[in-house]
């Protein structure tokens, strides 16, 4: 019996569907395997699968080898206080109920973090203009990396035309949820999901596959996204970043 016929019989017997209609498609991925860095400690960019550059002013970027994140190069970002880095990709939208966007990335702090509420920030935005002071609405998540306290989810409308990652009075969706584990200097994976439902956009995120926070934006403030953003708030420090993957279902 041919393989396809065997799979069809298995699907019939078990109720499993092999339809490709609900499979996730890759929107963007970057492992920095072919990346090149330009600039210096005060300003720069990384050319890779995406063009990574400062989103709220100049940031320093470099390519490093970090065995904790695996073989090959990782991007090391030297953040001034309250700064961010971003990369853009082809727009992806939550058009219909059931549409889902998932983002995963791996990271590590090279040094132990001091306690700063909302110290680690990340999210998806719809960037309106590119450059050193970009604008755009989106969803932003934060946590204190030193203690695991205060995980949050917010919608950032950018109504003040400031800059991404909380520059314009974000609207809380989950404000300071229950604490999770401290992040420390170990390698970690964060994943977050945006899903369109009948009652709005559901947003949830996890640290090392452990759920951290989830909430619903009943106003569906943003449904189209073209940029992944990462930043630090409240202090200057560095972070190593690797293996960013954005997928869309269906």
Q: For position 156, what pLDDT does the model report?
A: 87
**Structural domain total, the chain:** 1
- Please check whether residue 12 lies inside any domain of the structure: no
**Position 220 confidence tier, pLDDT thresholds 50, 70, 90:** confident
Q: For position 176, what pLDDT does the model report?
A: 87
User: Would you call 137 helix, strand, or coil by DSSP?
Assistant: strand
pLDDT in tens, 165-216: 655 578 899 998 899 999 999 999 999 999 999 999 999 999 999 999 999 9
Q: For position 202, what pLDDT does the model report?
A: 97
Compute the distance between CA of residue 190 and CA of residue 119 in angstroms, rounded to an integer.
15
Q: Where are the alpha helices (DSSP H) in the chain?
A: 3-14
Q: What is the CATH number of the domain that holds 58?
A: 2.60.120.560
pLDDT in tens, 145-170: 999 999 999 998 876 555 556 555 78
Structural contact between residues 212 and 151, judged by C-beta atoms closer than 8 angstroms? yes
- Please check whether residue 186 lies inside any domain of the structure: yes
CA-CA distances (angstroms) from residue 149 to 118, 132, 143, 227, 243?
9, 30, 6, 26, 25
- Please check whether residue 5 lies inside any domain of the structure: no
Mean pLDDT of all residues in 3-11? 37
pTM score = 0.85
Closest CA to 212 of 119, 141, 154: 141
Q: What percent of the chain has pLDDT over 70?
A: 82
Name the residue with higher pLDDT: 89 or 37.
89
Question: Could you count the other beta carbons within 10 Å of the beta carbon of residue 140?
Answer: 25
- Please check whether residue 154 lies inside any domain of the structure: yes
**Position 13 confidence tier, pLDDT thresholds 50, 70, 90:** very low
- Please check whether residue 237 lies inside any domain of the structure: yes
Q: For position 129, what pLDDT does the model report?
A: 60
- Please check whether residue 167 lies inside any domain of the structure: yes
Q: For position 24, what pLDDT does the model report?
A: 79
- Please check whether residue 120 lies inside any domain of the structure: yes
**Position 132 confidence tier, pLDDT thresholds 50, 70, 90:** very low
Q: For position 166, what pLDDT does the model report?
A: 54
- Please check whether residue 82 lies inside any domain of the structure: yes
Compute the distance between CA of residue 130 and CA of residue 145 in angstroms, rounded to an integer.
28
Residue 148 phi, psi dihedral angles, 5° rounding: 80, 10
pLDDT in tens, 53-85: 887 677 888 899 999 999 999 999 999 888 889
Compute the distance between CA of residue 210 and CA of residue 229 in angstroms, rounded to an integer.
22
Write out the residue range of the structural domain in which residue 45 sits.
Answer: 24-249
Residue 20 phi, psi dihedral angles, 5° rounding: -85, -5
């Amino acid at each position: 019996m041919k393989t396809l016929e065997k799979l069809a019989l298995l699907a019939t017997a078990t109720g499993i569907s092999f339809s490709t209609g609900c499979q996730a498609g890759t929107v963007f991925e970057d492992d920095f395997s072919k990346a090149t860095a330009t600039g210096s400690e005060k300003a720069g960019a990384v050319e890779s699968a995406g063009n990574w550059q400062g989103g709220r002013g100049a940031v320093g970027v470099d390519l490093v080898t970090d065995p904790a994140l695996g073989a090959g190069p990782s991007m090391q970002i030297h953040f001034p206080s309250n700064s961010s880095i971003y990369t853009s990709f082809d727009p992806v939208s939550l058009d219909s109920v059931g549409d889902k966007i998932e983002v995963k990335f791996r990271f590590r702090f090279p040094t132990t973090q001091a306690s700063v509420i909302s110290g680690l920030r990340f999210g998806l935005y719809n960037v309106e203009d590119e450059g050193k002071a970009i604008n755009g609405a989106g969803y932003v998540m934060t946590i204190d990396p030193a203690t695991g306290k205060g995980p949050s989810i917010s919608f950032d409308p950018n109504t003040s035309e400031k800059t991404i990652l909380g520059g314009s009075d974000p609207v809380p969706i989950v404000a300071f949820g229950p604490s999770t584990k401290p992040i420390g200097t170990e390698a970690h994976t964060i994943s977050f999901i945006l899903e369109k439902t009948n009652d709005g956009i559901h947003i949830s995120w996890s640290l090392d596959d452990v759920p951290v926070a989830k909430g619903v934006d009943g106003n569906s403030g943003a449904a189209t996204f073209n940029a992944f953003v990462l930043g630090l708030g409240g202090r200057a420090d560095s972070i190593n970043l690797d293996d960013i993957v954005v997928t869309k279902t269906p």
